Amino acid sequence: MVPAPDFHLHGSDIFIGNLPTIFSQWLEGKEYSKVVVLTDQNTQRDCLPLMAPCLPELAKIITIPAGEQHKSLQTCDYIWNGFLEHHLDRKALLINLGGGVVGDMGGFCAAVWKRGIDFIQVPTTLLAMTDAAIGGKTGVDYQGVKNIIGAFNAPAAVLVDPLFLQTLPERELLSGLAEVLKHGFIGDPELLEIVTKSHPTKWEHSDWTTILHKSIAVKVKVVDQDPFEKGLRALLNFGHSIGHALESYFLTTNSPITHGEAIAIGMICESPKTSRKRVADLIQAFFPKVAIPESAFPEIWQYMQQDKKNSSGAVLMAVPDEYPLSVKLIPVTETQLHETLRGYNV
């Protein structure tokens, strides 16, 4: 019997629990002509062994190199070649076993293969479990621009098993934790309390099932109300206007920072004055301060001007409005950005 999903979002069932059990039950009675698993080199080594016992005997594996630099049309070409080689017809199932890179790219490859085949997301990073695998956005980077080619394509199911976090490097775990905190700030104060108390920076120490359940619930609620990014979904970009700009800037230095580290700073800097200290105290319990050189402020401003949320020349930040779940788009000037970064540095 198929277990009851924890969430249902636009045609996707989302389950949290033991992957082999849930997957076997989910697959029962479905008549897929073929099952293909997409992994990257790391998830092939660390995650496939957990999934292998429940895969059909004839399942095929396609493995791509790990890392954002491979989230490209060239890699899609390699994946589609694999589909051809394995004779995938319209009734095939693709399983994306990996972080956001594998999930976004696999979902895109599935969207256009024979005009669309079923796929499921099996996220293996904290970031993918709580964010990337939920919501149906798929795509790849192109000519240095992130996620610029893609499609909305809902997975048939998302299977979240916290056990995969066991092998995830700690810095990646922490990166995902920034998105969990974001979900807490925008929609669930109790989640913030649990995270603060349990301090889940290691796999061993935490009740991941509860944390993931609460964190995914916030993303599901927001996406459910705004499937095509017309309004409320901007709330998920809290911390990302300044955060993305910092991520891009630090990529050009000898000490790049992770996406999560960048949006952690972003959330502090984008918080209204009234809640800034509370946000900063909470975030800095997990993320040590990063010095942002004053000479880089103009460059960071340049990056902010490229943000997707901007309209008619104004640079906009998405900031949580009053609880529950609502968003304000606030225009920001270069002078204000400099001030806020200076404030962060002291």
Ligand X SMILES: NC(=O)c1ccc[n+]([C@@H]2O[C@H](COP(=O)([O-])OP(=O)(O)OC[C@H]3O[C@@H](n4cnc5c(N)ncnc54)[C@H](O)[C@@H]3O)[C@@H](O)[C@H]2O)c1
Closer CB to ligand X, 276 or 308, in the complex: 308
179 is catalytic: yes
219 is catalytic: yes
Instruction: Report the alpha-carbon distance of residue 105 to residue 76 in Å, rounded.
Output: 7
* Assigned token pair, 23: 């997957």
Instruction: Report the alpha-carbon distance of residue 62 to residue 80 in Å, rounded.
Output: 10
**CB of 296: closest distance to ligand X in angstroms?**
23
The closest residue (CB) to ligand X is 100
User: What single string gives the DSSP state of each residue in 55-110?
Assistant: S-TT-EEEEE--SGGG-SHHHHHHHHHHHHHTT--TTEEEEEEESHHHHHHHHHHH
* Assigned token pair, 214: 């609460």
Map residues 32-51 to x or -, x wherever contact with ligand X holds by CB under 6 A.
--------x-xx--xx----
Q: Which of 71, 183, 214, 233 is catalytic?
A: 233
Residues 282-311 that bind ligand X (CB under 6 A): none
244 is catalytic: yes
* Coil, helix or strand at residue 204: coil
Among 3, 68, 90, 281, binds ligand X (CB under 6 A): 68
Instruction: Report the alpha-carbon distance of residue 262 to residue 248 in Å, rounded.
Output: 9
276 is catalytic: no
Instruction: Report the alpha-carbon distance of residue 191 to residue 163 in Å, rounded.
Output: 20
Closer CB to ligand X, 24 or 167, in the complex: 167
At a CB cut-off of 8 Å and minimum separation 6, what does 134 contact?
9, 14, 158, 216, 219, 220, 223
**CB of 177: closest distance to ligand X in angstroms?**
11
**CB of 182: closest distance to ligand X in angstroms?**
11
> Does the footprint of ligand X cover residue 248 (CB under 6 A)?
no
Instruction: Report the alpha-carbon distance of residue 328 to residue 199 in Å, rounded.
Output: 30
Which of these segments, 62-70, 190-198, 326-334, 337-345, binds ligand X (CB under 6 A)? 62-70
Residues 154-213 that bind ligand X (CB under 6 A): 164, 167-168, 172, 175
User: What single string gives the DSSP state of each residue in 123-167?
Assistant: E-SHHIIIIITSS-EEEEEETTEEEEEEEE---SEEEE-GGGGGG
Residues 127-146 that bind ligand X (CB under 6 A): 127-128, 131-132, 135, 137, 146
**CB of 45: closest distance to ligand X in angstroms?**
8
Instruction: Report the alpha-carbon distance of residue 159 to residue 260 in Å, rounded.
Output: 23
Closer CB to ligand X, 113 or 164, in the complex: 164
Q: Which residues bind ligand X (CB under 6 A)?
A: 40, 42-43, 46-47, 66-68, 71, 98-102, 104, 124-125, 127-128, 131-132, 135, 137, 146-147, 164, 167-168, 172, 175
Q: What positions carry a catalytic annotation?
A: 115, 137, 179, 219, 229, 233, 237, 240, 244, 259
